[in-house]
Amino acid sequence: MWSNVIHLINEKRRFILTTHTNPDLDALGSEIALDEYLRSLGKEVSILNSDSVPGAFRFVDPERRLRTFSPGRHRETIREAEVIFVIDASGGWDRIGRVGNALADAQATVVCIDHHPDPVDFAHVALVDPDAAATAELIFKLITQAGGVITPTIARALYLAILTDTGSFRFPKTSPETHRIAARLIEAGADPAQLYKQVYEQYPLERVRLKGYVLNSLRAEADGQMVWCALDQATLKAYGVAPADLDGFPGLGMEIGGVRVSVLCVEMPKGRVKVSLRSDGSVAINGLATELGGGGHPSAAGATVEGDLAQVTAQVVAGVKVLLTTGQSRRCPATVP
């Protein structure tokens, strides 16, 4: 599985790493780990992302390896790149945002490493394992198969990625292999207590208060099998929290017994709504996310949809109701719930 990529790594010198918009810690941790490994081989590496690192995740990059793409500054880097690694971001160049447009025209070999079951026809080489709990598991395998050393920096970055993408080792894809890899990362220098604290116990007061607001605003539907919440811009502004800092909020409704699907709709600038769907695994919600123009995993998926917050929320809630009763993913007309 890995020999093509290992061959490319050995043969080529200039690499670009990139990931999806609104990057999470699986995306960023995987990029940092691969960057560290490639640099240890003496390669030239640039990590170019469309979005800057969300405030809550800045600690993951003390050496400031992650760069926000700028067309003027990075044109030459893209022109000279020999290999582009697209990490944690199947689905096409759109999923990667602004930098995707620039990379789509590059001459380099495109390698996609991911665990999303979305299309990969944009890549020359695709290493996709939808059973992996995090893309970081695949980066770990690549580095170890290639004979690389798991340095403390790699161990911390990959552990953070796995910790967060598995919801602290509880989501359905968490496997014995996930735990075996985590064990190796701990042996290589990742400190579970310290990393947990960095991710989950360093929030500003405003975000914790906003969590209270979301919990208070949850609405139940379909005999309590679904809960949803719609967050508008005014509320986000009043609490002083950015949409990029809502990681974990979509799953809050899953704490309730009997809930199979949890929906969070967040009003974004320019008349768009970010839809996040979570499922307990009894129903796959990525089909609905794909219908809405996004994608994702069976139990965690999402999309960004043009439209008004109330209308989009109504459409999604209706779609989830259909899903819960028929198991079919269908884009539904909006009826205000």
Residues of this chain that bind ligand 5GP (CB under 6 A): 91, 95, 116, 118, 250, 276, 294-297, 300-304
295 binds, options ligand 5GP, Mn ion, none, Cβ within 5 to 8 A by partner type: ligand 5GP
Closest CB to Mn ion among residues 46, 135:
135
Closest CB to Mn ion among residues 118, 245:
118
300 binds, options ligand 5GP, Mn ion, none, Cβ within 5 to 8 A by partner type: ligand 5GP
Q: Smallest distance, Å, CB 115 to Mn ion? A: 6
Q: Smallest distance, Å, CB 246 to ligand 5GP? A: 8
> CB-based contacts of 335: which residues, under 8 Å, 6+ apart?
314, 318
Compute φ and ψ for 323, nearest 5 degrees.
Answer: -60, -40
Strand partners, 302: 276, 295
Q: Smallest distance, Å, CB 8 to ligand 5GP? A: 25
Closest CB to Mn ion among residues 18, 135:
135
Residue ranges of alpha helices (H) inside 190-251 are 192-200, 205-217, 233-239
Q: Smallest distance, Å, CB 318 to Mn ion? A: 28
**How many other β-carbons are positioned within 10 Å of the β-carbon of residue 199?**
19
The kind and range of the H/E element at 112 are strand 109-114
DSSP 148-179: ----HHHHHHHHHHHHHHTTTTTSTT--HHHH
Exactly one of 8, 19, 26, 102 binds Mn ion (CB under 5 A); that residue is 26
When CB distances to Mn ion are compared, the closest residue is: 26
Q: Which two tokens stand for residue 244?
A: 């990029």
297 binds, options ligand 5GP, Mn ion, none, Cβ within 5 to 8 A by partner type: ligand 5GP
DSSP 116-149: --S--TT-SEEEE-TTSS-HHHHHHHHHHHTT--
Closest CB to Mn ion among residues 167, 189:
167
Closest CB to Mn ion among residues 100, 319:
100
Q: Smallest distance, Å, CB 128 to ligand 5GP? A: 12
Closest CB to ligand 5GP among residues 148, 296:
296
CA distance 316 to 319: 5
Q: Are strands 261-268 and 44-49 parallel, antiparallel or unpaired?
A: unpaired
Sites for Mn ion among residues 57-86 (CB under 5 A): none
Q: Smallest distance, Å, CB 296 to ligand 5GP? A: 3
One character per residue 84-123, x = contact with Mn ion (rule: CB under 5 A): ----x-----------------------------------
How many secondary structure helices (H) and strands (E) does the chain include? 12, 12
165 binds Mn ion (CB under 5 A): yes
> CB-based contacts of 32: which residues, under 8 Å, 6+ apart?
47, 60, 61, 65, 66, 153, 154, 157
Closest CB to ligand 5GP among residues 97, 148:
97
Compute φ and ψ for 16, nearest 5 degrees.
Answer: -120, 135
Q: Smallest distance, Å, CB 95 to Mn ion? A: 12
Residues that bind Mn ion (CB under 5 A): 26, 88, 135, 165
